[in-house]
Structures are given as structure tokens and as C-alpha cells.
Amino acid sequence: MSIRPAIIGNWKMNGSGRDVKLVRRFADFLDKQKIVADVMICPPSTLIDRLGEAIKGAKLKIGAQNCHIEPSGAFTGDVSVLMLKDAGAKAVIVGHSERRTEYGETDKQVCQKAQAVIGQGLQAIICLGETRQQFNKGQTLQVVGRQLRGSLPSTATPQNTLIAYEPVWAIGSGRTPKPADIIRTHAHLRKTLLKLHPKSGAKFRILYGGSVSAANAADILALENVNGALVGGASLSFKDFTAILKSF
């Protein structure tokens, strides 16, 4: 079955008003080239509105990196899905390992966030992945299977939810799992999705993330059950990100 791939750039805590130009260049590139993928940039919340305005009508979409589960209220420093939607975000990354580690986000909280995102009509990009230690102990499948079962809301569909497998040890390290390991983990996620959603499990997009670069993107994107990529560092560079987009 052919699944339309997605390439999503996660800028993390990087970017400023100066990068409006970069995102315009991404948008122009995408509008001119025949790239058969959904492409999105998830900048810090401060830039969502500005970038969205700068590329209005383009194929490129803008997403967010995190959200609160409540629509409004006394939650100093937090941003709700409603606000992100108002600013122009079309999707929200939830459960990134940096949030799970730095802020102790649990599967249950990630599930609630995904539910809030879906509830507002946006796409949830749910991140999963094992630590180096868990990888070394051979616990990858068990860990990601548990994370997926715990983080995927019952309202998830292939249209409103994307899964991103990001081994924690591969993020920002320049290291990636062996192709056979990626295939095995994505196959396990697919199997779990089919168990949870027998009718639609085959259609969910499962992205790979963790040190995706211009040099390795073509090989990774060609693997079975890899339906796109969640790109960190390389999405901050025109040359690198567009090379990844061209690598299908």
C-alpha cells in the first residue's frame, strides 16, 4: 500500500525572525519541485504566526513542538492547542524524548496532549524511542510498544496522527541504528498499530527521527514501513533540508 510520506522539521529551541527568509525559501522550493510528501516545519511557538503569514497559501505547513492539554487557564508559561491553532499551526509534536526526559512527561500525559491536539482538528505527531541503555539491553521493541499503546489516543486515525520513532541515542549524535534495526522496530510499531486499530493500522505514517541527514536520508526513507522523517538539526539548513526532501 502506498502511504504519502511526511518530512517534518523540528527546530527545537532554535530560530528567530531572521529565519522567515529561510522558511520562505523552503516554501518556494516545495512549490516549484515535485516532492511527493507532506512537508512541515515546527518552529518555536514565538515564530508560528510570523512564519505562517510569510508562507500563506504555500504547500509547506507550520506546526508546533508541544502544548498544554487545557484550552486556557492559570498555567503560566504554557500554550494551549487552541492558541497554537489560532497562530496557524496545523500539527503539534507531542512526547518528544527531550520533553519526556527534561519534564518527565509520561505516556498518559502524551496521550492526553495528543487527544487535545486531535480534538482541535490538528495533527498529533507522537514521538517514541528507547534510550541507549534500553537499546543495549535489547528492550527496544518492548519499550516502543509500551509507549505506543500508552500514548496513542482512541480517537487517533491515520489522518490526524503520525508516529515518530526516535531512538534517544540517535538524536543529535550523528549515529543512526542499523537499517535492519530500523526495519524491525518500524515493523513492530506497525504490528502494534494494527492490533490497536485493525481497520486503519496499515495506513498510519511511521516516521523515523534521529540524525537524519542529507547523506543518509535516501537509505533510511527507502526502508520498509518508514513513511517519512522527523528531522532536527538538518531542518535548520536550506541545503540539508532540501537535499532530504529530494531524496525520495
Residues making up the annotated binding site are: 10-12, 172, 211, 232-233
Nearer to ligand 13P, 63 or 210 (CB): 210
Residues that bind ligand 13P (CB under 6 A): 10, 96, 166, 171-172, 209-212, 230-234
10 Å CB burial of residue 35 (0-12, 13-18, 19+) is middle
Cα separation, 213 vs 69, whole angstroms: 33
Answer yes or no: are the C-beta atoms of 141 and 107 closer than 8 Å.
no
For residue 237, the tally of other CB atoms under 10 A from its CB is: 15
> What's the Cα-to-Cα distance from 44 to each of 12, 62, 129, rounded to whole Å?
6, 10, 22
Nearer to ligand 13P, 110 or 234 (CB): 234
Give the nearest distance from C-beta 182 to ligand 13P in angstroms. 14
* Catalytically annotated residue among 130, 166, 186, 197: 166
* Catalytically annotated residue among 96, 186, 188, 197: 96
Give the nearest distance from C-beta 215 to ligand 13P in angstroms. 12
Measured from each CB, the residue nearest to ligand 13P is 232
Q: Which residues are annotated as a binding site for substrate?
A: 10-12, 172, 211, 232-233
Give the nearest distance from C-beta 236 to ligand 13P in angstroms. 9
| Residue 96: active-site member | yes
Beta bridge partners of 208: 165, 229
Residue given cell 492490533 in the structure block: 195
Nearer to ligand 13P, 79 or 128 (CB): 128
Nearer to ligand 13P, 125 or 152 (CB): 125
Q: CA torsion, points 24, 27, 28, 30, in degrees to nearest 10?
A: 160
Give the nearest distance from C-beta 122 to ligand 13P in angstroms. 17
Instruction: Give me the count of residues in the chain.
Output: 248
Answer yes or no: are the C-beta atoms of 230 and 164 closer than 8 Å.
yes
Would you please indicate which residues are annotated as catalytic (active-site) residues?
96, 166
